[in-house]
Amino acid sequence: MTIATIVGPALASAPSRNERDTRNGGPTRPFLRCLRIAIGAAGLLAALAHPLPAFAAKPALTDVKVFPADVNLKTRGDRQSIVVQAIYADGVTRDVTAQASFTLGNKTLVKFDHFMLTPVADGQTELKVKFQGKTLVVPVKIEAAKVAEPISFIKDVMPVFTKAGCNTGGCHGTSRGKDGFRLSLFGYDPDGDYHRLTREAIARRINLALPEESLILEKATRKVPHTGGELFKSDSEFYRTLLTWLQAGAPKDGPDVTKVVRLEINPRQSVLEGTGEAQQLSVRAFYSDGTDRDVTYLTAFMGNNDAAVKVSASGKATALSRGEAFITARYEGLATGVQVLAIPKNLQFTWPAVAENNYIDTQVNAKLRKLRIAPSDLCDDPTFLRRVYLDITGTLPSPDQVRTFLADTSGGKRDAVIDDLLGRKEFVDLWVMKWAELLQIRSADQQVQMSTKSALQYFDWLEGEITQNVPVDVMVKKLLTATGPSFEEPAANFYKIERDTLKLSENVAQAFMGVRVQCTQCHNHPFDRWTMNDYFGFAAFFAQVGRKAGEDPRETIVFNSGGGAVKHPVTGKDMAPKFLGGAQPEIAKGADRRQVLAEWLTAPENP
């Protein structure tokens, strides 16, 4: 089992200490309870059977969604694409934008053409969308319709390089660049990119006297030899964007330029039935000044399973074969994504009556239903017994134990054997071993500087926590907030094993959140949403962890120093603590940042 099998369910659904287990008539044991649920679902996850007979009638339309739900147009060049998705009773979704009807409340304020809204005059109106008897209303607000927004290097030019693939790892985004020209990977360093474009090789990459003869345009359109080939045509919008910037004198954005704080991609999930069925995606950026913008045309899309679903440069996801894909959308250093499922056309299938014994069954069944896959039957008794012994104790049952179990004809014998195994010492030994590896408990390591006594005390503390069935969220909170002499507070050895602030934050993210952020120390994550700001903001939680030697040289005293910071390597600024994937909390000066992090990480509402 992975760490997610234990930490995930425990943090998300660990019951209170006062909750009672009605079946056993005693206190609920959170750690064991989540493990029991996982094991109970193992039969459902083990194998997938063949499809069953067909639906009797065509699935009915259950819902219609319009994206975005509201439209805000600001300045003359703004625009917003509209996408309509129909959802049917069998879970299938269809892009019905072309089949829907649209009615504008006031055509003098906004223009609607090819499913795109553009501003005409200031005011407010609405767009009515109808499809098969269902009507939705999208409010539309227009501001500064006659005002042209100045061209922005960060908001307009940099996304062109990302969209065209110029700053990817296979091109100029590599650490050494390509053909003498380097860009930051996916544009994580706009200031550095601006300098390299405008200050390196003066009058070579840009030509302000004759903008059309700038090398960045001639290379991209392949008017001159270019290793990367032709990236766009001279009549394309990308070409016009770069030309407009050059004609304006290649201006650099001021310090007050608005920043993207969030990306929104819709629809959040699609189930496409049949080869060739497609769904257009829509991406909207939200800025630090409260405005938003449709950036679908500037977004770089990438899928992780082109054999099942392929996404085009314009953001249209097309089903090719049965399977699942995750589509990543990247704009201005941020990334987000959606799930797209592809299933065969007219698949003869009926969902069987399947028992759901816990929330894991519910989630698995929902996924299998969308994929049109019936769960396999429960495994037989010998298979179950072997699996449950290996999962819980890491051992195999003896021949006598197998014979006794097979001879038992009672209905609750599987639950009984699980309860029996969870109470054994082998269960504790197995999970202490797993956690000891996760926490890197070891001695005789010069890099770690852990004495045998410290390692033994740390190990004994861990064994005591699991033996006493301490909830995982409580145990993790003890580790993160550990303070005092390591001989008296063995959990403080968590901060003795790893003393480097950045590596410590990486370990916490990977061990307790299941997130790998190591590569964002140098650049934004190429395949996930994490950025360098996320990395160093999260590391700032551990910047004030103090350590000093105790009376015994083998002992370390861990404390909150109340001072210290983590600097961003690109901007050189001190980073404020920020939850990974969350908000930036307000922390009083001198307060223990680890306590704030621990409360957030173990909060019931934190997924």
Give the domain-ending residue among 108, 124, 150: 150
The CA distance from 80 to 283, in Å, is 10
pLDDT number for residue 174: 81
pLDDT (mean) for 166-185: 85
Which residue in 546, 547, 536 sits closest to 509, CA to CA? 536
Most confidently modeled range among 15-24, 188-197, 308-317: 308-317
Q: Is the dihedral of CA 467, 471, 472, 477 positive or negative?
A: negative
The CA distance from 295 to 286, in Å, is 10
pLDDT number for residue 185: 84
Does residue 157 share a domain with residue 146?
A: no
Does residue 450 share a domain with residue 582?
A: yes
> What is the CB neighbour count within 10 angstroms for residue 199?
10
Does 394 fall in a domain? no
Which residue in 359, 360, 422 sits closest to 391, CA to CA? 422
Does residue 591 share a domain with residue 511?
A: yes
Q: What percent of the chain has pLDDT over 90?
A: 60
Residue 497 binned pLDDT confidence (cut-offs 50, 70, 90): confident
Distances (CA, A) of 232 to 15, 247, 599: 57, 19, 50
Find the helix packing angle between 413-422 and 30-40, rounded to 10°: 140
Which single residue is written with the structure tokens 């990236």? 231
Give the domain-ending residue among 97, 128, 150: 150
> Residue 247 corresponds to which tokens in the numbers above?
């004609």
Do you know the residue count of the chain?
A: 607
Find the helix packing angle between 472-480 and 501-513, rounded to 10°: 180
Does residue 481 share a domain with residue 521?
A: yes
Q: Which residues contact 451 (CB under 8 A, 6 or more apart)?
A: 443, 554
Give the domain-ending residue among 106, 126, 150: 150
pLDDT number for residue 443: 75
Does residue 590 share a domain with residue 482?
A: yes
> Residue 190 corresponds to which tokens in the numbers above?
């706009």
Does residue 495 share a domain with residue 444?
A: yes
Does 513 fall in a domain? yes
The CA distance from 368 to 383, in Å, is 23
Does 202 fall in a domain? yes
DSSP 169: T
Does 356 fall in a domain? no
> Exposed, middle or buried, 121 (CB in 10 Å: 0-12/13-18/19+)?
exposed
pLDDT tens, residue by residue, 272-309: 999 999 999 999 999 999 999 999 999 999 999 999 99
Q: Which residues contact 114 (CB under 8 A, 6 or more apart)?
A: none
pLDDT (mean) for 447-469: 87
Most confidently modeled range among 114-128, 540-554, 564-578: 114-128
> Residue 521 corresponds to which tokens in the numbers above?
């120390």
Q: What CATH code is carried by the domain that includes residue 85?
A: 2.60.40.1080
CB-based contact 493:555 (threshold 8 Å)? no
pLDDT tens, residue by residue, 475-496: 999 999 999 999 999 999 999 9
Does 16 fall in a domain? no
Find the helix packing angle between 3-13 and 472-480, rounded to 10°: 100
pLDDT number for residue 22: 35
Does residue 593 share a domain with residue 462?
A: yes
Does residue 272 share a domain with residue 237?
A: no
Does residue 201 share a domain with residue 67?
A: no
Does residue 78 share a domain with residue 141?
A: yes
Q: Is the pLDDT of residue 2 over 60?
A: no
Does residue 443 share a domain with residue 575?
A: yes
> What is the CB neighbour count within 10 angstroms for residue 588?
7
Distances (CA, A) of 338 to 273, 306, 335: 17, 14, 11
CB-based contact 561:545 (threshold 8 Å)? yes
Q: Which domain holds residue 289?
A: 259-347
Does 21 fall in a domain? no
Does 386 fall in a domain? no
Does 97 fall in a domain? yes
pLDDT tens, residue by residue, 93-152: 999 999 999 999 999 999 999 999 999 999 999 999 999 999 999 999 999 999 998 999
> Residue 277 corresponds to which tokens in the numbers above?
């069925």
Does residue 176 share a domain with residue 118?
A: no
pLDDT number for residue 493: 92
pLDDT tens, residue by residue, 498-514: 889 999 999 999 999 99
Distances (CA, A) of 317 to 340, 464, 607: 8, 51, 28
Across the chain, what does the average pLDDT equal? 86
* Number of structural domains the chain divides into: 4
> Residue 587 corresponds to which tokens in the numbers above?
């922390």
